[in-house]
Amino acid sequence: MAEVMRALIPVRAGLACRELSVGYGSRTVLEGVSLDVRAACWTAVVGPNGCGKSTLLRALAGLMAPRQGTISLQGRQLTSWSRRERARRLAWLAQTATATDLTAAEVVSLGRFAHCGWLAHRTAEDAAAMRRAMLATGSLPWARRRLSTLSGGERQRVHLARMLAVEASVLVLDEPTTHLDPPHQEDVARLLRQQAHECGVCVLSAIHDLSLALMADRLIVLGDGGVIGHGTVRDALNHDWLSKAFQTSVNIVDYDGVHLWRPQLEMTSNG
Amino acid sequence: MTALPVPAIGAGALDADGGESARFLGWVAVCLAITLVITCGSLVVGTSSIRTSLHWLLSPDAQSSVILWQIRFPRTVGAWFAGALLGMAGAVAQGVFRNPLAEPYLLGTASGAALGVTISLMAADASMSGLAWAGQIGVTGAACVGACVAIALTITLSRGMLQTAGLLLAGIVVAFLLSAVTSLLLLTQPETWRAMQAFLLGSTGFLSWSSVILLGVVFLLCIVPATLLSRGLDALTLGEDTAQSLGLSLPALRLALLGVLSLATAAVVGQVGIVGFVGLVAPHLVRQTLTVNHRQLLIAAPLCGGALLQAADLVSRWIVRPTELPVGAVTACVGGSYLIVLLWRRSRDG
């Protein structure tokens, strides 16, 4: 019966975890976290430095083994996917845009690794995916340049193209807007929203910039003790999760329906 | 991103640049040409004068054909294979450890091989049964065993292969420990120390046809898996998390590549001793002049390493005729000065 149900109802959950505990060595970073990250939705993870944003993303992307709990990708245990199948469905973007001596085109072609395998037999479909990804991120002009000769922002866009080239249904991004100037941050945010809304992709990203994070559909707010709250941006503002997470008053203003973080530079009593 | 002007670049932009692949082919051709010239040249360079050698070549007698075809020719062919293995091992080491200064000996192989040779030489001196034992496995066998023991120690010490940093540290520790043991043993036996010098400095003088066959087989055994795994090395340059997210199993990849690295270094150390700098410099030379992925690097670096060691071998035979310099001293001088130039240029360019 369950099999029939699964076949009839399209799976809407991109990523989910139940009672997840993760840590490094003797230090437990997060404990008892349960989340559902929806498909066709852009979810941003926010929280203070060192609260475990990257750790949560790494665990959900299957890059580190959880201490306890389960993670599921598209309704199936993350560990039950084969390595190649998982890599086709879940793409990862690391926080640091590594400089390598490979050309931008080679880096993007690595995004097709799970599709073409060790011998790198590139089909027309692979080439089309690479081209689409590089066009979408504006990195096509540097296709033949070594990554080590590009600026930090340009490099980041090549890595973004590499991740898009996977054409995965779940994207996990750790700080995708670092190194980027404001117009390109805007481009990335637009791209993430477009991926979620038009392509039905489950997008999960840690974002440092609060104003940018508030552009997302849903927020996961992390604090010192774990998840403060998980819901729509409206929920987050209504319950003042951000202030709780950062343990100081976080001033969000509504500007024509757009939520912006307003730094408070005046001396305040709770400063 | 709509805000950006989309340049009119055809689908061909994604493929390798025509000019770049022509440069690569040109590079390969130059290396092969140098190898060919040196191989021919090395037939006429030795303790006797060039005129005598030429005379031997044109009208060979029994004795001269032995010198030419059983001594000089296998020596230069063997030097090529040894250099090629070192160049390949260097490229693999720099890829696995994600460090441009990594070199083939960093798993402790060199110190392990030195200790193996020391023990076998001492055993040969000590007793008749020791001599018989040492004669059986030979200096090269002892070096090979020593190198393998060092690698096993390094891997055990770093507890598997989870972290490259741990592996690097373990390699350094093992190298120091084994060198200390070697030095202690040599202190008690000054005569062995003299015999060890040739080995420690590296020498192509022991190469015979059997060593050429051995090095050739090992080269094939290493280059095939290394080239097949080259995409994994490419992926590793993007960082370990990213490589893993692309669907690679990092422990399996590392195990296979370290296997290749160990086999290549152990074989080379066994045949020519500790020849430094070729493994470090060959991949650098390639990357300085070409934009390559690891598949191309694993073709170009062995060609470059082979030509380098052959050239060094020729120089070591030529420069202080009628005696010889240890080839390792030549590679150290050339490689060392190249690195200094590289560093100087880097600091000048900021």
Interface membership of A236 toward B (CB under 8 Å)? no
Summarize pLDDT for A94-147 with one digit per residue, the tens: 988 888 889 999 999 999 999 988 876 788 999 999 999 999 999 999 999 999
Chain B touched by A119 (CB under 8 Å): yes
The band of A68, judged by pLDDT with boundaries at 50, 70 and 90, is very high
Supply A144's token pair.
Answer: 């033949």
Q: What share of chain A in percent tops pLDDT 70?
A: 93
pLDDT (0 to 100) of residue B276: 87
B165: tokens are: 């940093």
CB contact under 8 A, B14 and A105: yes
Q: How far apart are CA A145 and CA B17, in angstroms?
A: 10
Q: Does residue B162 have a pLDDT over 80?
A: no
Q: Please choose, from the candidates B117, B145, B140, B120, the residue with its C-alpha nearest in 3D space to the C-alpha of residue B130.
A: B120
Give the pLDDT score at A22.
94
Q: Is B231 on the interface with A (CB under 8 A)?
A: yes
3-state secondary structure of A119: coil
Cβ contact B237–A114 (<8 Å): no
The C-alpha of A178 sits at a distance from chain B's nearest C-alpha, in angstroms, of 17
Q: Is the model more confident about A256 or about A169?
A: A169
Round to whole Å and give the CA distance between A64 and A58. Answer: 6
Mean pLDDT value of segment B335-346:
84
Q: B235: which chain A residues are within 8 Å (Cβ-Cβ)?
A: 110, 113
The residue with greater pLDDT, B94 or A266, is B94
- CA dihedral B253→A150→A45→A194, nearest 10 degrees, is -100
Contact indicator for B233, A67 with CB cutoff of 8 Å = no
DSSP 8-state class, residue B236? H
Calpha distance A113→B104 (Å, rounded)? 28
Residue of A38 and B345 predicted with greater confidence: A38
**Range B86-109 average pLDDT:** 91
- Whether B99 and chain A come into contact, CB under 8 Å, resolves to no
Average pLDDT over residues B35-48: 87
B49-60 in b/e form (b: 16+ CB < 10 A) is eeeebeebeeee
- The predicted complex's ipTM stands at 0.89
Give the whole-angstrom CA distance, residue A140 versus residue A154: 11
CB contact under 8 A, B241 and A138: no
Confidence at B16, pLDDT banded by 50, 70, 90: low
Q: What is the mean pLDDT of residues B11-17?
A: 57
Lowest mean pLDDT among A199-213, A229-243, A252-266, B239-253: A252-266
Q: Between A58, A88, A140, which is nearest B9 by CB? A: A140
